[in-house]
Structure 1
């Protein structure tokens, strides 16, 4: 069921159905900007353009470009210098929420945590050992 919300761009009311975050008018403006960026990138000389170059040439906001890359509308495979910021450190990445460096750091911390947990569990198990006396 639709929910009545204010558009974050123009503050107009719209029925939010989960498909888009903005009202119909703002969604149409966003689509027009997307088409402009896509036309720019389809030219052979612009395919390797980075985010700064695209913003400069088209006037589209950086966050909007990041949104399109994150959602898969602009594919880094086709446009190799495109990406979006890592949620942790802000470095540009092409997939997931974290860049490769942050992923590796997180994996390392998880391995350390798991090793420490195994060590603690081993100590607890050892301390719970029961001893049998020879008496009946």
Structure 2
């Protein structure tokens, strides 16, 4: 086993399957339990209302949703922020607009990389050429 510092609390622990120490894992499990209990009675709540009602950060609730611990299928007002623009979304990490913009940018970059390199003028070397100027003088 490898000893590491817990990224959440800083305590040294023997890293196993989790990246956090056992105490932090228990705290996160308690936060999940608070969220699950709150959602049983408040299915219409928003992300901020869930956070305010449980004391669990929006960031941690978003992790629960992305990990699949909290399903938002039957929670119509629960959404989290798009990682690019911050718009409310219910799945993935980017909203539809940001995904489309990213796809268009990637397509544009692919098209640019497929173009043959621009042909350079063989007679120009980018500097002053004495030989060419000699013929132009009277």
**What range is the shorter-chain TM-score in?**
0.7 to 0.9
Does residue 81 of structure 1 match 2:80? no
Task: Decide whether the 8 Å contact of 1:47 with 1:78 is kept in 2.
Answer: yes
Divergent runs of 4+, >6 A: none
Q: Deviations over 1:46-100 (max 9, x none)?
A: 1121111011111111211111011111112122332333222232322222221
**Counterparts of 2:7 and 2:113 in 1: how far apart (Å)?**
45
SS at match of 1:21: coil
Report the CA distance between 1:10 and its aligned residue: 2.4
* TM-score normalised by the chain length of structure 1: 0.74
SS at match of 1:75: coil
Structure with higher Rg: it is: 2
CA RMSD of the aligned region, Å? 2.2
Which deviates the most, 69-78 or 89-98? 89-98
> Within 5 A, what are the aligned runs for 1:21-100?
21-43=19-41, 46-100=42-96
- Name the structure 1 match of 2:99: 103
Q: Deviations over 1:81-131 (max 9, x none)?
A: 32333222232322222221110101122233344445x24x88xxxxxxx
**Counterparts of 1:114 and 1:9 in 2: how far apart (Å)?**
40
Change (3 A) 1:117 1:79: same
Task: Decide whether the 8 Å contact of 1:55 with 1:62 is kept in 2.
Answer: yes
Does residue 3 of structure 1 match 2:2? yes
Structure 2 unaligned blocks of 5 or more? 120-138
